[in-house]
Structure 1
Amino acid sequence: MRHVSTVRQFDLQETTRLIERAEYLRTAKRAEIQKNLAGMLVATLFYEPSTRTRLSFEAAVYRLGGQVISAENAQENSSSKKGETLADVFRIVGAYVDAIVIRHHSSTELEQAMPYAPVPVINAGAGSGEHPTQALLDVYTIWRELGRIDNLSVAVLGDLKYGRTVHSLLRMFAMMSNISLKLYYPEGLGLPGDLLSEMAQAGVRVEHAASVEEALAGADVVYQTRIQAERLEALEEVCAASDYAIQAKHLSVLPAHARILHPLPRVGEIDPAIDPDARAAYFRQAENGLYLRMALLEQVLKGELS
């Protein structure tokens, strides 16, 4: 039994294996895979709002022949509102199911509670900490779009301080070779110091751009994110999305082979006029999450994670 809590537990070999399995599941006939999780029950506990992550996990379970019980808005609609600890939630829910997929508002509380779960727990986003399955599907998307996951120039824009998807993805990049980052973010929302140190120790080159145009120029991958308004510690941290948004006019500096990713939802950071452009990969990225999470659920529930 193995929890999925951080991208640090995945190496390149395992990531590659998940990508290959996701590719198989993408084209496999439904009848061939419907028994893969037959008889298994997964609980999805979401203490924060979610569309793509929750629905793709639940769809993944059903496509593999399993069943789902779900608690949406669990912060308000479960005994957590009465003060029940997450450790006790895991003890109880873990007695009913074969695995738990959870999104929680506190990365610390989630990490401390995981040892009390009698079944595997998958982190589906924890506060401003990590979102490991998003990073895995992001890497899968880069591989599908560009045919490689190394030797990349990556522009990362938006809220880098609270953006858990950024934190996980950059830790994945730290495992790869010849990665360079160009960061552009609103004042006060840059990468946490410990993550910058991790990048330096891993040999990832980091530059800071002064504009959207400078960030996009020469990039292989653009990773845009929204302001995490729900996590801002002070009102003065709020800034206009237009300050770092990608507009159609910016595409002139973006190489033809480049791809634009976004974990979604977007709230003004990417002009919808860009959507038809072949470089806009964010909706394909969201679809990829289904197949990557199918592959991960198979491994978790079959006990095959190394």
Structure 2
Amino acid sequence: MDRHILGAKQFDRSGLESILSAARAMEQVARSGGSQLLAGKIMASLFFEPSTRTRFSFESAMTRLGGQVISTENASQFSSAIKGETLEDTIRVISSYADVIVMRHYEIGAAARAAHVSTVPILNAGDGAGEHPTQALLDLYTIEKELGSIDGISIAMVGDLTYGRTVHSLAYVLANFRDVTIWFTAPENTPIPQTVKEYLDEKGVRYYEESDLRQVAERVDVLYQTRVQKERFPSQEEYEKAAGRYIVDKELMDRMKRTSIVMHPLPRAGEITPECDADPRAAYFRQAENGVYVRMALLAQALGENQAKE
């Protein structure tokens, strides 16, 4: 595995299968009380954007493996960044304090900049509207656990597909699997970026753009709903064009196959109604839990450890 995790395109199928296998082992480790695999190691949690699930799941993962965590909840306000320090200088210093850095930043490409100067592995926990590769890996793990296989699935990616970094990364990793069909369902002002479509074309992946969610919901194995991210829109007017356009409710789920699942990277903001939570096909909270196991595997691999060395 590459020393850093910067984007989903860096993975091939063999690498993905290795991570999924490691995550399965780590799930058993977590359920049996954790381990001391990373005892003596320190993870720096450096988030320039707010986060709950990603930051806590990484910190939980490190703790379950016996490691320690140093963190700041909002690095853009509570670090030297507010004094004008460059990202590169921040990383140079923090990489001397920790063995691995998990970073979220508001700028596309920030993780690559950090990796260029860091002396320790950088794990990209989201770079603006760019990518969120570790989310894509836990999404793969969830699909495999829920459906039994990733090959041959059909998936609808719904909502804000322009600024939704999770769907960009998920589309990239799915390109490594066979006979996958992707449906992109988005408001007119937040379509899937052309760069993502070009990558899928290059890899020979079938995809369709379809605005009718009800029609798509009947066909797919996975309905991957996303939040319309108000904070990323250039204006309130543009946000309002997209907000509330696609809602997953009981009526929509009644149209779906009995074997399909609904996923969401969370947080949700009204795009999946609470009445759906009791449906066994609602996988989004199980998906969030899976993040801990996948990130345990990623931390262990980034630090050159494996379960056998315990």
- TM (norm. structure 2) is 0.94
* CA distance in 1 between partners of 2:121 and 2:190 (Å): 33
* Residues 87, 114 of structure 1: 8 Å contact kept: no
- State the match for 1:194 in structure 2: 195
Alignment of 1:147-226 (within 5 A): 147-226=148-227
1:229-268 alignment to 2 at 5 Å?
229-239=230-240, 241-268=243-270
Q: Deviation of residue 99 (structure 1)?
A: 0.6
Question: In the alignment, what sits opposite 1:132?
Answer: 133
With 294-303 and 47-56 compared, the bigger mean Cα shift is at 294-303
1:302 alignment counterpart: 304
Q: Is the 8 A contact 1:158 1:244 kept in 2?
A: yes
Q: Distance in 1 between matches of 2:220 and 2:184?
A: 11
Aligned to 2:77, what secondary structure does the other structure show? helix
In 1: Cα distance, 2:137 partner to 2:50 partner = 20
Say which SS state the counterpart of residue 49 (structure 2) adopts.
Answer: coil
Using the TM superposition, give the Cα deviation of residue 187 of structure 1 relative to its aligned residue in structure 2, in angstroms: 1.5
Could you tell me whether the CA contact under 8 Å between 1:157 and 1:225 is conserved in 2? yes
Corresponding position of 2:88: 87
Distance of 1:32 and 1:135 partners within structure 2: 26
The verdict on how the C-alpha distance between 1:30 and 1:158 changes in structure 2, with shifts beyond 3 A counting, is: closer
Aligned equivalents of 2:92 and 2:209: distance in 1? 45
SS at match of 1:170: helix
Cα deviation code 1:222-267 (max 9, x no counterpart): 1000111111123332135432111110112210000100000000
Equivalent in the alignment of 1:271 = 273
User: What letter corresponds to residue 157 of structure 2 in structure 1?
Assistant: V
User: Does the 8 A contact of 1:42 with 1:61 survive in 2?
Assistant: yes
SS at match of 1:39: coil
> Equivalent residue of 2:183, what SS?
strand
Please say if residues 43 and 93 of structure 1, whose CA atoms lie closer than 8 Å, have aligned partners that are also in contact: yes
- Give the aligned residue type for 1:299: Q
Take 2:116 and 2:183, find their aligned partners in 1: how far apart are those partners?
A: 37
Instruction: Give the alignment's TM-score, normalised by structure 1.
Output: 0.96
How far has the Cα of 1:30 moved from its partner? 7.1
| Cα shift readout 1:37-78 (whole Å, capped 9, x = no counterpart) | 010011000110111100000011110000000011100000
What amino acid sits opposite 2:244 in the alignment?
A: S
Which whole-Å deviations, capped at 9, do the CAs of 1:89-120 have from their partners, x for residues lacking one?
A: 11000011101000000122332232100111
The worse-fitting range, judged by mean Cα deviation, of 37-46 and 229-238 is 229-238
* Cα deviation digits, residues 113-136 of structure 1 (max 9, x gap): 321001111000110000000000
Describe the superposition over 1:254-294 as per-residue Cα deviations: whole angstroms up to 9, x where unpaired: 10000100000000110110011011000000000000000
CA contact (8 A) 1:2 1:303 kept: no
Within a 5 Å distance, the mapping from 1:78-117 to structure 2 comes to 78-117=79-118
Alignment-derived partner of residue 18 in structure 2: 17
Aligned partner letter, 2:158:
L
What is the percentage of aligned positions where both structures have the same residue?
46
Q: Which moved more, 1:9-18 or 1:156-165?
A: 9-18
CA distance in 2, matches of 1:109, 1:38: 29
What CA distance in whole angstroms lies between the structure 2 residues aligned with 1:44 and 1:103? 9
SS at match of 1:233: coil
Structure 2 CA distance, aligned partners of 1:14 and 1:94? 26
* Paired AA for residue 93 in structure 1: I
Tell me how far 1:200 sits from its aligned partner.
Answer: 1.5
Counterpart amino acid of 1:235? Answer: Q
Aligned to 1:290: 292
- Contact 2:47 2:73 survives alignment (8 Å): yes
Does the 8 Å contact 1:212/1:246 carry over to 2?
no
In 2, the alpha carbon distance for the partners of 1:28 and 1:42 equals 19
Offset at residue 31 of structure 1 (A): 7.4
Q: Distance in 2 between matches of 1:176 and 1:29?
A: 28
The answer to whether the 8 Å contact 1:102/1:122 transfers is yes
Structure 1 stretches of 5 or more lacking a match?
Answer: none
SS in 1 for 2:91: helix
Structure 2, unaligned runs of 5 or more: none
1:30–1:63: 8 Å Cα contact kept in structure 2?
no
Distance in 2, matches of 1:29 and 1:262, equals 23
Does the Cα contact within 8 Å between 1:241 and 1:268 map onto a contact in 2?
no
